[in-house]
């Protein structure tokens, strides 16, 4: 809404045709910072915190959300390759496994930001492997580690390898705290 208000004020203020063209060209990038100009939104979904210890009993709606318990430990999301981006199963609560379908993940940039209550935290490990010699848990494809601070939350680039299931299905394990509420993911086609 702020964008359109800014655009309306700018167009009223423009005095020449050339200045109006410059304002419209600068306004063509409506995506949030740091998403590059010319990027096209292809898909978006949210990872939502559901009350601890409760099993999600609703339906998945329009396929744009995944539920995980607050205070989750090792909640699972299966990432699989398909013909488009979609949430096939939204329920990662109470030891269930949600399913996220991706397509040609290498041609997209995926941005994420955490919203909700300050102090909310999520840690996602891509392709967990336990090293029996050292006792360490390894995240072969990377991690998503977000903590909600006060102030405005900004989008940041997520590890692309965590979405690329073109060679085989991937498993994410997610840990959250009691204050976790929501992570937004935005999938943009590169310009």
Per-residue pLDDT tens over the stretch 42-96: 999 999 999 999 999 988 877 799 999 999 999 999 999 999 999 999 999 999 9
For the chain, give the percent of residues with pLDDT over 90.
Answer: 67
Cα Rg for the chain, rounded, in angstroms? 19
- Determine the pLDDT at residue 32: 72
Q: Are 123 and 114 in contact (CB under 8 A)?
A: no
Report pTM.
0.80
Using the predicted structure, report yes or no on whether residue 3 has a pLDDT greater than 50: no
Is the separation of the CB atoms in 33 and 156 below 8 Å?
no
- Residue 183 near residue 114, CB atoms below 8 Å: yes
Tens of pLDDT, residue by residue over 86-142, are 999 999 999 999 999 999 999 999 999 999 999 999 999 998 776 677 777 788 899
How far apart are alpha carbons 53 and 84 in whole angstroms? 32
Exposed/middle/buried for residue 100 (C-beta within 10 Å: 0-12, 13-18, 19+): buried
Helix (H, G, I), strand (E, B) or coil at 121: strand
Distance set, CA 106 to CA 56, 110, 162, 173, 188 (Å): 32, 10, 10, 21, 11
Of the chain, the percentage scoring pLDDT greater than 70 comes to: 82
Residue 149 scores a pLDDT above 70: yes
Q: What is the dihedral of CA 161, 164, 167, 171, to 10 degrees?
A: 80
The answer to whether the CB of 82 falls within 8 A of the CB of 100 is no
Assess whether the previous peptide bond of 72 is cis (omega < 30° from 0): no
Tokens linked to 191: 């310009």
CA distance 124 to 74: 9
Q: What is the DSSP string of 95-114?
A: T-EEEEEESSGGGEEEEEEE
Pairing mode, if any, of strands 65-69 and 156-157?
unpaired
């Amino acid at each position: 809404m702020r964008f359109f208000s800014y655009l309306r004020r700018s167009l009223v203020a423009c005095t020449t045709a050339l200045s109006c063209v410059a304002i419209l060209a600068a306004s063509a990038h409506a995506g949030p910072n740091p998403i590059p100009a010319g990027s096209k939104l292809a898909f978006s979904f949210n990872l939502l915190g559901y009350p601890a210890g409760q099993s999600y009993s609703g339906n998945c709606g329009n396929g744009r959300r995944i539920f995980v318990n607050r205070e989750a430990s090792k909640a699972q999301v299966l990432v699989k390759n398909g013909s488009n981006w979609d949430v096939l199963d939204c329920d990662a609560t109470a030891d269930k496994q949600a399913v996220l379908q991706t397509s040609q993940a290498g041609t997209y940039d995926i941005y994420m930001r955490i919203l909700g209550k300050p102090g909310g935290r999520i840690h996602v490990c891509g392709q967990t492997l336990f090293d029996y010699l050292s006792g360490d848990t390894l995240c072969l494809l990377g991690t998503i580690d977000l903590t909600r601070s006060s102030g405005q939350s900004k989008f940041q680039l997520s590890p692309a390898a965590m979405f690329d299931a073109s060679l085989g299905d991937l498993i994410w394990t997610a840990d959250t705290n009691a204050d976790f509420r929501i992570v937004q993911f935005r999938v943009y086609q590169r310009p």
